[in-house]
Amino acid sequence: MSNPIAARMARATLGNQLFIAATAVTVIVMAILAGTITWQNRQTAISNVHDANRAGLLGYERTLLLVYRIARERGLSLYPVLERYMGGTPEVSGQTAEGWPQLSTANGTIINANQALMRSVTGVVSEVYAQADGQWLRIASAYQDQPDYALGQALPAGSPIATALSQGQTADFPDLVGDKWHLATVLPLKNAQGQVYAGVVSRLDISAQIDPVLQDLAQVQLAGHGQLFILRPSANGQDWLRVAGGTERAGQLLSASSSAAAFSALHHILGSAPAGVEQLDIDGSEKFISWKTIAGWNWVVYGYGDVHDYLGASTRQMQLQLVLMLVGTLAIALLVRWLARSTLAPVQTVVARACTPWAAATWPTPLPPARLQAATKSTCCSRACAAPKAPCVTPLARCVTA
């Protein structure tokens, strides 16, 4: 059984055969090139997105670290001023009526419940905690008239202040008091044996420096497409609290404003490394996620945006390149056809002159001039007439009747 494509090729002129062959080869080569270039361009575009996202997060990291270093140095420099106002380092001098440790200084100043003393240093508000029965009790505070800072309250075991005092280490971290951000500095007080018996917590108001940064973050798009957010870990480490970004209020749990699948994916990657860039499927949409943990703050700045938005310009550029390659493929094929016809035109004339007597002699019935010319121009007739010893009747018959 004959192949229809092979039969059509056999009946085609040599110029058309070259055109078809050149078109097929060019399409295959261009398809391979197009696939390779498209893949390379996409990888380059993704790499550029990652670099742009990292650069965007780096700017906020530098700003926050600068605010942190300045506030930390100022907070540490103001503690000696507070200590001078207290009259020295507080020491345990007995117990209160409630059974709490009583702290006083060498000049007889009682620290317990001394709210005025906790507010005595301009720009800083302070608290004092003392250890009792394995817990850290608040015995003096600048906010002691507020329910959340009432005296006698014990710190949760996993809180940053309790952790720093238990470890006997100085610590600094951002703390939200009301609607204002402060940098809290924890200074443990140790006895002669090196045991921590109390601690002073000084809070420096940094809202004037932080608020513009947070407002800018909420308005700016990461790399022109992504939304930016700041999170801080919850007390139990199982969730995240919003600090800034988006439409949700500050302090809201991430799990409360995200689907279970989205929260699970975000919680995993944000806790997997201090920084990174990932592509995730969130609620059925492919997103680029970039994040960075800010040292000292224990905050995570992260941004995410739709993959199609990030790669839109690159996709349009690739589509334009594919169109140009398609046009180039067609132009090459047409050029090959024109060259083939121009080159083979003299040969075709010679073959036609040689085949005309053969066609007239071998075909029993006189042919119309147009049919005879078509027969002599066909490649099958040309092959038949090019072999003087071969019979020309059967090939010529196929050429004329085809």
Lowest mean pLDDT among 53-67, 130-144, 276-290, 292-306: 276-290
Distances (CA, A) of 160 to 136, 278, 295, 323: 12, 30, 15, 60
* Residues forming beta bridges with residue 258, ordered by sequence position: none
Convert the pLDDT of each residue in 88-113 to its tens digit. Answer: 999 999 888 788 899 999 888 999 99
DSSP state of 297: T
Check residue 387 and give its pLDDT: 46
SS (H, E, C) 141-159: ECCCCCHHHCCCCECCCCC
Lowest mean pLDDT among 48-52, 55-59, 324-328: 48-52
- In the chain, the percentage of residues whose pLDDT exceeds 70 is 73
- Mean predicted lDDT score pLDDT of the chain: 78
Check residue 178 and give its pLDDT: 82
Question: End-to-end alpha-carbon separation of the chain, Å?
Answer: 17
Q: Is the pLDDT of residue 209 over 50?
A: yes
pLDDT band (50, 70, 90) for residue 138: very high
Helix (H) or strand (E) run with residue 205 in it: strand 196-205
Backbone angles phi, psi at 179, to 5 degrees: -115, 20
Q: Is the pLDDT of residue 43 over 80?
A: no
Check residue 388 and give its pLDDT: 46
Check residue 382 and give its pLDDT: 47
Convert the pLDDT of each residue in 220-251 to its tens digit. Answer: 776 566 778 888 888 777 888 888 887 677 77
Average pLDDT, integer, range 346-356: 61
Average pLDDT, integer, range 55-70: 87
**Inter-residue contact 13 to 377 (CB < 8 Å):** yes
Amino acid at 138: R
**Inter-residue contact 217 to 210 (CB < 8 Å):** no
Q: Is the pLDDT of residue 168 over 90?
A: yes
Check residue 363 and give its pLDDT: 53
Check residue 171 and give its pLDDT: 92
pLDDT band (50, 70, 90) for residue 395: very low
Check residue 390 and give its pLDDT: 45
Q: Is the pLDDT of residue 365 over 60?
A: no
Average pLDDT, integer, range 332-360: 66
Check residue 383 and give its pLDDT: 47
**Inter-residue contact 301 to 210 (CB < 8 Å):** no
pLDDT band (50, 70, 90) for residue 295: confident
- Distance, in Å, from the CA atom of 360 to the CA atom of 27, rounded to the nearest integer, reads 42
**Inter-residue contact 71 to 204 (CB < 8 Å):** yes
CA angle, corner 251, sides to 250 and 254, nearest 5?
100
pLDDT band (50, 70, 90) for residue 117: very high
Lowest mean pLDDT among 45-49, 68-72, 105-109, 260-264: 45-49
Ramachandran category for residue 133: left, alpha or beta (phi over 0 → left; psi -120 to 50 → alpha): left
What is residue 103's three-state secondary structure?
Answer: strand
pLDDT band (50, 70, 90) for residue 167: very high
User: To which residue do tokens 């940064």 refer?
Assistant: 213
Q: Is the pLDDT of residue 127 over 90?
A: yes
DSSP state of 100: P
Check residue 190 and give its pLDDT: 93
Angle between helices 312-362 and 379-386 (to 10 degrees): 50
Average pLDDT, integer, range 266-293: 80
- Distance, in Å, from the CA atom of 84 to the CA atom of 79, rounded to the nearest integer, reads 9
- In the chain, the percentage of residues whose pLDDT exceeds 90 is 25
Convert the pLDDT of each residue in 368-393 to its tens digit. Answer: 555 555 555 554 444 444 444 444 44
